[in-house]
Amino acid sequence: MAISSADLIAPVGLVEASLFPGEASNVMAERLDGYLDEGYTRATAAEADEANHDEAAKQWAYHRAFLQVYLRLSANPSQVDVDGKGSHQYLISQINNFKNLSDDALRAHQGLLVPVTVKRTTQTRPSHTVRNSFSW
């Protein structure tokens, strides 16, 4: 059964809509479906066990989603003060949490890209019978 973006979005999955502010839900779903497609392509290219393809695609999509959040948070100021409207701040540890989530998902994805064991036929040498005569 193929994984879809609905499997990744909360409350079923780990991706909250708030992680992509200003992005419509259908755009976020398309983003995640694109990441899943990449994950399936990677699993197929690695000749991974087909039983692992869904989980490998899912972990790749999580990796990419959390990496995008990390990049967005890293590219913006960690603290903003707006006159008369308050302030907002992200701690570096909060930002790094998304990097850690991304790295964990990437490691899980790579761990699933184990190629299917290829059956190898061994070449057998032709056998010969040799007459032996032992005496004591």
Q: How many CA atoms lie within 13 A of 125 on its CB side?
A: 3
Mean pLDDT of 80-93: 75
d(CA 6, CA 86): 35
Q: How many CA atoms lie within 13 A of 58 on its CB side?
A: 19
Selection from 97, 35, 88 nearest residue 69 by Cα: 97
What are the structural domain ranges in the chain?
Answer: 5-111
3-state secondary structure of 42: helix
Q: What is the pTM of this model?
A: 0.76
pLDDT value, residue 119: 47
Q: What percent of the chain has pLDDT over 70?
A: 79
Is residue 66 within 8 Å of 101, Cβ to Cβ? yes
pLDDT for residue 5 is more than 70: yes
